[in-house]
Structure 1
Amino acid sequence: MNATSIGPLVFANDRLHAVIALAAVLIVLELGGRRRPALAGALHRWGWLLLVSWIVAARLGSVLVNRAVFAVDPLSALAVWQGGFEPIAGFVGVGLVGLAALLKRPEMLRPLALAVVMAFSAHTAAGWIFPTEAQGSLPQVALTDLGGAPVRLAETGERPVVVNLWASWCPPCRREMPMMMELAEAQDDVVLRFANQGETAAAVGRYLDQEALSGEHVVLDQTQLLMEHFGLLGLPSTLFFDAEGNLAAAHTGEISRAELINRMQALQEPE
């Protein structure tokens, strides 16, 4: 769907794009340092500073844009593995650090410029090879609640629906679950379902009891139909469907409060 497995690792494609761009920068700077040994140390230092400046500035930009959400849990701003970056803010940070580098060492202009161009090219190519677009629709399948009663995911009262695929043995699933259930219980405009993958009702019930979580929005997918239907590679995965049941977006890995709220708001906006 929107993720790629490399050995035992599963990367969301948008993050894989960033990893490929990072690799391109490091390769270009390494080759530049070998061709110009006198600049090797400076290229490595400033190259890493450029990368760190993009991450920090882009993350700060996202936190500022979503400051009301991060105010609820300020420490979540440090959870960069959840995603949430503002590219324009990142480019501003890179521009400022790059300017400082060139003022100090003007001879680095060519290798640094080449590294930036190669990073952009690699990121663009990765977007073609590993697309992030979500395709599909809410399947007409009947899962069960914790009591064994059938639950049809497609019966949402013409409301958007968010389906989170999870398991109790999955650490990132456990981390995001309390926040997601809090949002599920706080609003009625979007239906949230938590589709447990492959576990028994007893095992799920024990986990919910231990964590003092409600089972109201939990459904059981013991044969992992949803993972197979959408070609998902890892847990947690969160699927966003519009009111017509069309898949609008998918998120692989732990999701942040800001990302979840923004995605749900987007589902409710008129096209």
Structure 2
Amino acid sequence: MISLGPLALALERLIAILGIFAFLAATSLIGRRHGKPVETSAWIALFAGLLVARFAFVAQNWPAFAAEPAAILYIWQGGFAPLPGLAAAGIVLILSLRKTRALPAMGAAFAGIALASLAATALFLASVQRPLPPDIVLHSLAGDANALDDRKGKPFVINLWATWCGPCQREMPMLVEEASRAPVPILLVNQGEEPAQVRAWLARQGLTPAHILLDRDQRAAAAIGSAGLPTTLFVDSEGMIRELHVGELSRAALLAGMRKLEK
């Protein structure tokens, strides 16, 4: 994860952004030799790939989007299927450049950058999968202790949040709603705030406090290694962190993560 003050950017997103910039840089170099049509084709392929990647993700998670169709447009929450997107971009690139001498160079640049990005993402996702640190104890708003070690044997989700965090505020109604009915427990762990402050904020938002826990000294966030809020972790029945999501979480991403935990 990359953290710049209050801004936290998940590394897999950064890899994707760097891959896009690398492709455009390579396109610019190749375009100097073969002419402007190369750059035009590259931009068309890029937009086609992003569009297909987004709609493939929507199709894979349609039940979540059917309940809130406007969320299809919330691309800042993430939610792209990389393989369909890369396939679409590659096909568009081949078709648009098939009669030009630029195709071999553009094809090699596209394939090389795509493979490097996928490999880097796979390595990052593998590094995320680690045991949840032991001896993390949280507290309910009433002051009752909740040891995460006691939850070993069943999967659960942890969401680290704060009342001052804008993305946290936007996702909280959805998280509270899903926590009330999800088969996988969702623990909404507030960071560094007093119980009265959290209760007051929940009351103003009309949200129930049933699944709220407190990490007043932020030891849980430090142990987990969270560098920004919100952060969501998907923990399997053996206590392994299987996925880590930094930034605002969509309903589709939450439900997809929980489905993987139940397999």
Question: After TM superposition, is the score higher than 0.5?
Answer: yes
Cα distance change on mapping 1:231 and 1:51 into 2, 3 Å: same
Residue 222, structure 1, aligned to residue 220, structure 2: no
What letter matches 1:28 in structure 2?
A
Match of 1:250 among 212, 236, 244: 244
Alignment-derived partner of residue 58 in structure 1: 53
Q: Supply the distance in 2 between the matched residues of 1:160 and 1:43 (Cα, whole angstroms).
A: 49
- The letter of the residue matching 1:24 is A
Question: 1:28 is matched with which residue?
Answer: 26
Aligned partner of 1:4 in structure 2 is 2
- Quote the Cα distance in structure 2 between the aligned partners of 1:176 and 1:8: 17
Change (3 A) 1:19 1:157: closer
Shift of 1:6: 5.3
Does structure 1 retain, via aligned residues, the 8 Å contact 2:129–2:240? no
Using the TM superposition, name which of 56-65 and 3-12 deviates more: 3-12
Give the alignment's Cα RMSD to 1 decimal.
Answer: 2.1
Q: How many residue pairs are counted as aligned between the two chains?
A: 262
Deviation at 1:88, TM superposition (A): 3.0
- Structure 2 residue aligned with 1:72: 67
Alignment of 1:158-237 (within 5 A): 158-187=153-182, 189-237=183-231
- CA distance 1:220–1:7, shift in 2 (3 Å): closer
2:138 matched to 1:140?
Answer: no
CA contact (8 A) 1:138 1:153 kept: no
CA distance in 2, matches of 1:115, 1:168: 45
CA shift for structure 1 position 116: 0.4
CA displacement, residues 57-85 of structure 1 (integer Å, 9 cap, x when unaligned): 01111111211221000111111222222
* Aligned equivalents of 1:7, 1:157: Cα separation in 2: 33
The separation in 1 between residues aligned to 2:259 and 2:47, in whole angstroms, is 31
**Amino acid aligned to 1:268:** E
Whole-angstrom distance in 2 between the partners of 1:246 and 1:118: 33
- Aligned residues of 1:235 and 1:253 also touching (Cα < 8 A): yes
The structure 2 residue matched to 1:48, chosen from 43, 47, 58, is 43
Match of 1:117? 111
1:94 is displaced (CA, Å) by 1.2
| Cα 1:138/1:217, change in 2 over 3 Å | farther
CA distance in 2, matches of 1:265, 1:74: 21
Q: Separation in 2 of the partners of 1:7 and 1:265?
A: 33
Q: Normalised by the size of structure 1, how large is the TM-score?
A: 0.88
1:259 to 228, 253, 256: 253
Q: Which amino acid in 2 is paired with 1:44?
A: E
Find the aligned partners of 1:30 and 1:223 in 2 and give their Cα distance: 50
Cα offset for 1:125?
A: 5.6
**One-letter amino acid matched to 1:151:** N
The TM-score with structure 2 as length reference comes to 0.91
Over 3 Å counting, the alpha-carbon distance change for 1:157 and 1:93 in structure 2 is closer
